[in-house]
Structure 1
Amino acid sequence: MSFFGRNIKKIRGVKGLSQKSFAELFDLKRATLGAYEEGRSEPKIETIIKIANYFSISIDSLLTSDLTVNELLRFKEDLILNHALDEKEKLVGIPYIAEKNITNYCSYAENPSFIEDLPVIHLPIDDEKSLRAFAVTNLEMTDNDKGLYPKDIVIAEYVSKEELVDYGNGEVVVAVLDEEVILRKIYFIGDEVIFKAAHKNIEDKNYPKSSIKELWLIKYSFIKRLPEVGDEVENKLLFLERELLKLKNRG
């Protein structure tokens, strides 16, 4: 296997190009470029020549040696390394499943190309596990005007099959089934899984435990509205204080 994938990934880093931008330069698909970088596929000779010529790198160097950043900078003067990038907080790219993609996600969640083509949310999250971002599409997790509303976004961490035994005690999860993605609290009773909504008027959903294709534990949420500052009791006390002050001033 050649060094091609590792080298073009380094070139992108030095040049500051995303996979999408780099792929567009050479008429490639983003998924194809990802396969090159991960060593899952080798490029055509025409692609190798295009990239080598564009960045003034010899084909031999591109394919047979692990290029260093200093070497890349010497190949072409306009490949400028931004040292400030090392000082900035790293952002994690998280695949985002929007409302329009949720149905397709049930069918293609295990397809790497489908995942690579999803939009990506970049966040300063320190998490080594696989993450997904899901759009909230209903009011099932609302209670007394609190909770998650449509258009909010939840960030969830992958739960492996082996880890399932540690869950099922009321955690808020995203569960992927054959034809449905469920955002609720999860409970395991024997071989059955029960999904409970926070909304009191919504009935539970019961399925066999084996029907879960993927399970994601919610770790963060992002709301698309301004939250209320302070609680109701505090606001009432402040109101009473103002009214008492008015009465005192009148007297």
Structure 2
Amino acid sequence: MSFFGRNIKKIRGVKGLSQKSFAELFDLKRPTLGAYEEGRSEPKIETIIKIANYFSISIDSMLTSDLTVNELLRFKEDLILDDSVYTKESFVNIPYVSEKNIESYCKHYNNPSFLNDLSIISIPVEIGKTFRAFTVTNLEMTDHDKGLYPKDIVIAEKVKEEDFESYGNGEVVIAVLEKEIILRKIYFISDKVVFKAEHKNIDEKIFSKTDIKELWQAKYTFIKRLPEIGDEVENKLLFLEKELLKLKNRG
């Protein structure tokens, strides 16, 4: 058994986690975790990093030393022995489709191995539903200074194919097509589907329903900027005051 295998087994003991519970935390299969603990298999470096970071343990310590229970408790104070006084919040691990792998996702969207290799975003959303995270790559869903901007991340819930017919119009969705991923408002018209941008100067796109490989309804967003806080007029007055103060100081 490797140091890594022994150490994750000790972590489970300290936390009172079964192999199944521990494996689910890191998107592993229980037999795979068992193989790690018994030294029959070695994990990917991504798995090692994920587990080490989660428990605030250095990678070097995980791989090269036989950690004691006291050391594990010292690494992170909330590693406690009594689960009855500690309730861990469950987070959903969501595969993240970045700007760099959009083309690959269109080809391999239903390939489990490809999906397992995607980066993961963990957030406290409703468990039991299927989510995907997509990067905004253009200004199509902007209206003046409002809307979704490039580098923002949209968390979307999967829409089942059998629900397409009853799906409401005007919803903001991510549609996966053969060669592109579209983020727009959707409208179903007979056997066609129309995608409308929020930006008034961008034409709509029209496809057949059968062109849609996957459909995801936008639910949450991570924005890559600090939103304006407070009243717009008040913010402008504060800005003017600062500019007047600068002019006064120069005089």
**TM-score for both structures, normalised by structure 2:** 0.65
Q: What letter matches 1:10 in structure 2?
A: S
Give the 5 Å matches for 1:158-197. 158-197=158-197
Q: CA separation in 2, counterparts of 1:17 and 1:207?
A: 39
**CA distance change for structure 1 residues 114 and 86 in 2, over 3 Å: closer, same or farther?**
farther
Indicate conservation of the 8 Å contact 2:23/2:30, yes or no. no
Distance 1:36 1:104, change over 3 A: farther
Match of 1:52 in 2: 38
Counterparts in 2 of 1:117 and 1:184: CA distance versus 1, 3 Å: same
Alpha-carbon offset, residue 52 of structure 1? 3.1
Indicate the residue corresponding to 2:87 in structure 1. 87
Of all paired residues, the percent bearing the same amino acid is 55
Encode CA deviations 1:64-113: one digit per residue, 9 max, x unaligned: xxxxxxxxxxxx98598753895132211111000001110000000000
Q: Retained in 2: the 8 A contact 1:14–1:81?
A: no
1:216 paired residue number: 216
Find the aligned partners of 1:53 and 1:198 in 2 and give their Cα distance: 54
- Inter-CA distance 34–179: structure 2 relative to 1 (3 Å threshold): farther
- Cα 1:214/1:148, change in 2 over 3 Å: same
- In 2, Cα distance between the equivalents of 1:198 and 1:11? 48
SS in 2 for 1:166: coil
Q: Give me the CA root mean square deviation.
A: 3.6
Measure, in 2, the Cα distance between the counterparts of 1:14 and 1:81: 15
Cα distance in 2 between the residues matched to 1:14 and 1:160: 30
Alpha-carbon distance between aligned partners in 1 of 2:134 and 2:22, rounded to the nearest angstrom:
32
**Superposed displacement of residue 215, structure 1:** 0.2
Deviation for aligned residue 1:168: 4.5
Q: Which whole-Å CA distance do the structure 1 matches of 2:85 and 2:174 have between them?
A: 34
How far, CA to CA, are the matches of 2:23 and 2:182 in structure 1? Answer: 41
Choose which of 26, 31, 34 in structure 2 pairs with 1:18.
Answer: 26
Q: 1:135 to 1:84 in 2, by over 3 A?
A: farther
* Residue ranges of structure 1 left out of the alignment (5+ in a row): 1-6, 20-32, 38-42, 55-75, 241-251
1:115-162 CA-partner distances (Å, limit 9, x unpaired):
111000011112421000001111110001111011100000000011
3-state SS of 1:201 partner? coil
Contact 2:103 2:179 in 1 (8 A): yes
- Cα pair distance change 1:90/1:84, threshold 3 Å: farther
